Amino acid sequence: MPKKNIRILSLDQITELFKELDEPSFRAKQLYDWLWNKRAIHFDDMSNFPKSLRDKLNENFEIHAVEIHDLQISKDKTIKCAMKLHDNFVVESVLIPQKERMTACISSQVGCSLTCKFCATAKLKRMRNLTADEIYDQVVLVKQTAMEKYNQPLSNIVYMGMGEPLLNYSEMMLSIDKITNPNGLGMSPKRITVSTAGVAKMIKKLGDDNVKFNLALSLHAANDEKRNQLMPINETNSLESLEEALNYFYEKTGTRSTFEYIVFKDFNDTTQDALELVAYSKKVKSKINIIEYNPIDGGEFKQTTPERLDNFVKVLEEKGVIVNVRRSRGKDIDAACGQLANKNKLAVIEYK
């Protein structure tokens, strides 16, 4: 029988395990602290455990620790980390340094099952969901990288890396619980944003679960015809259904959603497109992030011109919409939004 990943066990389950092993119950909290707070990656690192207990744990369990396989630093100081998993799959995480914040962009799946036309990750097959501990480890490793490279603490987390977080709902939620727990990283949920391509029923579930973190929707077009072309998921999660789900989410949580809108040249960058976005944003309590397009290999879209981008934003502002323009970071190392595609050799081998 293969050894079980011990970090899938809750504290209560670990307490029961130690009863079965005829070990004192206080050892359960010690183990939990080693796994989530101190992030031990080997049982033999647990120095306050007797060797007999460490031997029992080694015999029956293992720790699926994530490690940094490769690291690239952009000229703008953005850092892309290729994270190697226990089964040799690789996902990518990004550290985005800014004056007022240090943001970790993390992945939730190995590959992706969606087929968004502008995203490099969409060209990869979804191999599996990440577990909560693998998502958590990404944050810990990016946090350590922020301190080592820039001597600044991690301030924000965005679930905007590889994969669709709402299609890995339970593990995504459990990872956030670990990240925000005082026995984990103790981060405020208000500093966490989960980004979705738009899974209406799961957005409603977020509302039912009364989550405290922020929600972002990758919108990119405010009419169904264009959004269907960009994001096939829209064919089963229309703008109308997403409007209903986002309003439900707001009623339950009181949290305003963010629309992410990538502006593509000669596709969704006209005054009419901007007016459609204004009209849709008025239906949902929201704010808008305008994002520069980052070209990908074999992509069919191009970045819009500065003039058309400025005009697009001007139309939104004149209509009283809350809008921010997000400039791309890490484009030279393929670390910008939509560019994560596992180009390192190990990942290429695993994806074949």
Q: Which residues are the active-site residues?
A: 92, 337
H-type helices in 97-168, by residue range? 132-150
d(C-alpha 190, C-alpha 210), whole Å: 13
Please give the distance of CA 332 from its chain centroid, rounded to a whole number: 21
Structure-token pair, residue 339 = 């560019």
Q: Tell me if 271 sits within 8 A of 311, measured CB to CB.
A: yes
Cα–Cα distance for residue pair 263/222, rounded to 1 Å: 12
CA–CA dist 118, 248 (Å, integer): 29
Q: At what angle do helices 169-180 and 132-150 cross, to 10 degrees?
A: 50
Nearest to 78 by CA among 337, 309, 302, 260: 337
Residue 206 structure tokens: 């977020």
Where do we find the tokens 């074999």?
298
Angle in degrees, CA 293, 140, 148, rounded to 5: 85
d(CA 7, CA 140): 15
**Joined tokens for residue 3:** 């050894």
- Alpha carbon separation from 58 to 62, 132, 231, 273 (Å, rounded): 7, 21, 46, 59
Question: Do residues 214 and 258 touch, judged by C-beta distance below 8 A?
Answer: yes
The answer to whether residues 185 and 177 touch, using CB atoms and an 8 Å cutoff, is no
Rg (CA), the chain: 21
Measured between alpha carbons, how far is 124 from 109 in angstroms, rounded to an integer?
11
